[in-house]
Structure 1
Amino acid sequence: MSDTEKNRSVLPANWRHGTLFAMAVFVLAACSDNSTVQTAQCAASAERVAALEQHAGGDVAAFAVSDEPIPLPVFEFAGRGGNKASTADFAGKTVLLNLWATWCAPCREEMPALDTLQAEFGSDAFQVLPVSIDRGGPDKPLAFFEEIGISHLPFYQDETMGIFNELKKKSLAFGLPVTLLVDADGCVLGNLNGPADWAGSDARRLIGAVVGK
């Protein structure tokens, strides 16, 4: 093999190794920057988490306070009439995100309490955000809302179950109903798997600790 041929065989390999190294450095830096951004975004939320710990008892004893608040991903869903919406529409508000379905008996039982909670706390600073994961269109979950007289909650639906599956990957959702408390900075303060009396005094103290009411 000539010197020229040797150079041709060596240079591309060196180039590949250098490129792979540069890419690895870039990916590590990006991950580091992303972690830093998340930590900075949720820094103030750590204080809110500390305030919640003393209120996670009684009817909301199953509420799991986050060890380290993380940003909630932007989730999309459909509203009445199929209008598209997302969690980004509620930026700047403390949100109680609740995933439910009409075939889930505990979900049906707790929905009136969520409606009462919204009636009492709903404002520019707080929103109960129920999202149905029923399939087959909105008729059935909307009929349920009408049947039990829901008058303060908005209606949203995610037929793909994408939100639930994503939360499951993050170990935030294990079944239905599942409820997440997200602060005004968009950071998850805690989650509760299973039903709760969201209209009770324990739940009101929990929410009040975040929204100052």
Structure 2
Amino acid sequence: MLAAGGTLTTLLAARQGMAAAGGLSPAAPKPVPPLSFTDADGKPYDLGAFPGRMLLVNLWATWCAPCVKEMPALDRAQQALGDENWAVLPLSSDRGGAAQVTPFFERTGLKHLKIWLDPRGAAARAVGARGLPTTLVIDRQGQEVARLEGDAEWDSPAMLGQLQALARG
């Protein structure tokens, strides 16, 4: 969705500038396949559980060194973006599920993220992730508007600015 007065050319130029700056790789909005996952208690969820919110879906695992490195920054990003109607969804592909992820969250001191589990890695396959970590930005209409493969400093002012720009559309 374009902001009032915006043009597709302006939006694409802004997105190309973000990619050139070494951040997210914005793209024309595209549908996200159905993704299902559970919370730490095993309750099933899908992206429809977050209506009207911008989503930062991070595909990760505790055995993935770059994933582990970026988790504190994702936690701080959730804190920074929480008042702006964002949800950061770190979908763990750890086969051990909550028994493996919960101690990691405790050891790492993650306070603002919730535990989300995808122990079979179905979400990564569904979105065509080439490796971990892979992060998707999904807009309020459920469209993927950006992707980043690899770790990032999600709480840096530059990255938060890119995310806020994507939210403005």
TM-score tier by shorter-chain length is 0.7 to 0.9
The answer to whether the Cα contact below 8 Å between 1:96 and 1:179 also exists between their aligned partners in 2 is yes
Q: How does 1:155-170 map to 2 (within 5 A)?
A: 155-168=115-128
Identify if the C-alpha distance between structure 1 residues 49 and 141 changes in structure 2 by more than 3 Å, giving closer, same or farther: farther
Percent identical: 35
Alignment of 1:202 with 2:158, yes or no, is yes
- Whether 1:181 aligns to 2:137 is yes
Within a 5 Å distance, the mapping from 1:42-191 to structure 2 comes to 44=2, 50-58=13-21, 61-66=22-27, 68-123=28-83, 125-168=85-128, 173-191=129-147
Find runs of 4+ consecutive structure 1 residues off by over 6 angstroms: none
Q: Deviations over 1:52-111 (max 9, x none)?
A: 3333355xx152221x31111221101021111111111211111000000000000000
Aligned length: 163
- The residue identity in structure 2 corresponding to 1:162 is A
Is residue 49–residue 189 contact of structure 1 (8 Å, CA) maintained in 2?
no
TM-score scaled by length of structure 2:
0.88
Work out which of the two has the higher radius of gyration on C-alpha atoms and give 1 or 2. Answer: 1
Distance 1:120 1:57, change over 3 A: farther
Superposition TM-score, scaled by structure 1 size: 0.71
Counterparts of 1:165 and 1:55, CA distance in 2: 26
Q: CA RMSD in A?
A: 1.9
1:150-191 Cα offsets, whole Å, 9 max, x none, are: 1001110011211111112xxxx1100000011111111111
Note the C-alpha offset of 1:211.
Answer: 3.0
Unaligned runs of 5+ in 2: none
Structure number having the greater strand percentage: 2
